[in-house]
Every structure is written in structure tokens, then in C-alpha cells.
Amino acid sequence: MPDKRPTPGPRFTALVQALPAAVPFVGPDTMERQAGKPFRVRLGANENSFGPSPLAVRAMQDAVSGVWKYGDGESHDLRAALSDHLDVPMENLLVGEGIDGLLGVLVRMMIEPGDRVVTSAGAYPTFNYHVTGHGGELVTCAYVEDREDPAALFAAARESGAKLVYLANPDNPMGTWHDGPALEAALNDLPAGATLVLDEAYIEFAPKGTAPRIDPEDGRVIRMRTFSKTYGLAGARIGYAIAPAHVIAAFHKLRNHFGVNRLAQAGALAALKDQAHLDWVVDQVARARDRLAAIAADEGLRALPSAANFVAIDCGGERGSDGKMLAHRVLAALNRRGVFVRMPFVAPQDRCIRVTCGAPEDLDLFARELTPALAEARAEHGA
């Protein structure tokens, strides 16, 4: 008879044993497997369904035959191109596995158990995931009028002695934004010893002047950007950080030096050169934002102004007898109809659903299914 006694397993740290078995997001592919069928349209992950530049696709196809080689551990050519594009010295640039990967290295680099980090309640949860994974303590501030509040964030950093302050501009999940000069002025209140992590994943979609003018050697700020959104390379996992040279040097001590593959580097380099395609995507997204606002208005709902490639649609703030928001029921009804959308998860933002800007045919399908989904949700909400 085989021995049924349990065998010793890995000796996890006390921190890992205490963490919940959770991930920031359940991905759409996982949701499709759980449902046993594919979504009819994906409007929940803020992917760029307009697609990457044809030049990027061709560059990645051409690079396939060389995939037996490791990618350039320094991403030299891409950093050189970014340096020219942004007028930022190469020593102030670091390429990594998307903003998520860069956030993971940053937190590992700066946060020890018990260190405090300030963010907004309901802001991008992957940052929180990294912080708690390294034993950091989250200090949260409320949104004000559906926007992250720099004044409150910086005041909380002063009171708590936080090492990091996270702010996304434009914001995810609400799509709201601050203009650059306002953030430049707000930085005067960032306490000494605190570093602002400025997530600019959606910056190319935003109005001109949204990006603050910050010297790359300004030690108060680490900026992060991505090729996932406007450039349509979410599946390639590639992004970059802009920071003082000594901060970039610290990243090099910990990062995965061969984590960005050759195909991703080739695609990003080609995408960066195709400004015409990027301009076309930005225009298509602006048209889709207007269309989503019109769809919401047709149903008696309000779309929040957005500077990103998604729109938050306000479904109303009253909770049902079970405590659920109408938005939660609308989301569930849409998902059952094969329309993948998401929603914020913290009050009062959880009164909204968040819908990614898609092609006209995608939004036609969303509009057709929103009407019955909303009727079903309202009937259940009032039951």
C-alpha cells in the first residue's frame, strides 16, 4: 500500500502564508474558460482593439526567425529611439515587462515589511498587489469628484511617512485626469523622502498638456508608460520608466535583465516610428468615447468625461437590499450576454461600469445588449 501520509512541502515565508489566494484581475481568457464559451466582444481590459501598427506586426514577424536568441538585455535600440522621441537621455530610461513588471521591481527595490505606501482607494489594484506582496502597508485616500486627489495623497504621505505615492494620470478606472501644470504645482507639497510613482499608461489618449513637465533627473518622481494601450501591444508586455539616472541604476540591480523578449522590442521600436498609425488610433478612440457617451445617454445614463481609451458609465448610486449596486447587476447581465466589461470595485466609483473603446461594430453590439441587460438589472435591483 502506498504511504498516504502528507509529505513535507516548501517552507513558505510567514508573509506568503498570510496573503490571500487572490490576483488583481481575473483575466478574460480565464472567464471564458469558466463560462465554457468565448465572449462575443471584449470591452473590459482596455485593450486596443484597433490593433498595432502594421509596421510593428511586420517587424515582429521578421524577428521570429531570430527568437532562438535572447533579447537585448539593455533594450539599447528601443531606449535610443525613446530618447530621441521624448528628448530624454538614455540613462534616464528603463525598458521592462510592461508597467506591471516595472511596478513589481520598484516595490521590491523600495518597500520592506511595515513600510507605508499611499494610493487612492479603488485605484489600479496591481500596484497594491505588489505592495502587500512585499509586506508594505497601504494608506488610502478617497477620490474627490471621481478624480484622484494629489493634495490628499501628499498630505497622507506626510502624515504616514510613506516612501511611495501612487497616482495614475489619466486615472484607471474612472478615466479622469489632471492637467500637467496642476500636477507640477502639487509636487511642491510632496514631502521629502516620498517618491511619486506617476503611472501614465493612457497619456497618449489625453488632451495636450496633461503630461506635466518634469526634469528626468527630478528625484521626486518616477514616471511609467507602456506600449500596451495606444500602441496596441498589450500581449507583448513591454513598457518603460523615466527616472533619475541613479534610480535607473538601482533598477538594474534587481530587474530581470532578459525579461523583455526580442519580438516585443522589435514591435515597440517599429510602433514608435509609426506616428501616423498612433494618431489614427487616438482619433478612433475619441470617436468611440463620443459614441459610448451617446449610448449611455440613450439609456438615461451618464458617461464620465474620459482622457483614456475607456469610458466609465454611471448607473446610479442606490444600493439594492442585498447591498449590491445596479452597476454590478448590469455588468453581470452583460457578461451573460457575451459582452465583457468591468467596473470599479470601491464606493462611490462602484456605481459605474467601465467600457473599453472599441470598433464601431463592437459598440453596436454593446448598444444592442445594454438595453436588455439594463432592464434585467433594474428589475432585479428593485425586487
Q: Which domain holds residue 83?
A: 54-273
Do 91 and 143 lie in a common domain?
yes
CATH of the domain at 285: 3.90.1150.10
**Could you tell me the CA-to-CA distances from 8 to 11, 13, 15, 73, 207 in Å, in that order?**
9, 15, 19, 38, 57
Across 91-115, average pLDDT? 98
Q: Is the pLDDT of residue 336 over 80?
A: yes
User: In this predicted structure, what is the pLDDT of residue 8?
Assistant: 75
Over 60: is that where the pLDDT of 1 sits? no
What percentage of the chain has pLDDT greater than the value 70? 98
Residues 128-187: tens digit of each pLDDT: 999 999 999 999 999 999 999 999 999 999 999 999 999 999 999 999 999 999 999 999
User: What does the CA dihedral 372, 373, 374, 379 come to, rounded to 10 degrees?
Assistant: 90
- Domain termination residue (choose one: 228, 244, 273): 273
* pLDDT at residue 2 in the model: 63
Residue 10 lies in a domain: no
Based on the domain organization, do 147 and 249 belong to the same domain? yes
Give pLDDT, residue 359.
Answer: 97
- The reply to whether 40 and 146 lie within a common domain is no
Work out the mean pLDDT of the chain and round it to a whole number: 96
In 3D space, the residue among 57, 85, 62, 69 whose CA is nearest the CA of residue 240 turns out to be 85
Domain boundary among 251, 273, 295: 273
203 and 143 co-located in one domain = yes
Q: Measured at the alpha carbon of residue 191, what is the angle toward residues 110 and 182, in degrees to the nearest 5?
A: 110
What CATH number did the domain enclosing 164 receive?
Answer: 3.40.640.10
- Counted domains in the chain: 2
Do residues 60 and 33 both lie within one domain? Answer: no
d(CA 103, CA 127): 6
How many other C-beta atoms can be found within 10 angstroms of the C-beta atom of residue 90? Answer: 15
Residue 80 is predicted with a pLDDT of: 98
The residues near 350 (Cβ < 8 Å, ≥ 6 apart) are 122, 325, 327, 328, 343, 344
Place of cell 506586426: 57
Which pLDDT tens digit goes with each residue over 261-290? 999 999 999 999 999 999 999 999 999 999
Domain boundary among 240, 273, 306: 273
Does 327 lie in the same domain as 375? yes
Q: Do 247 and 103 belong to one domain?
A: yes
For residue 3, what pLDDT band results from cuts at 50, 70 and 90? low
Strand partners, 166: 197
Q: What's 172's DSSP letter? A: T
Question: CB count, 10 Å around CB of 275?
Answer: 11
Residue 182 and residue 294 in one domain? no
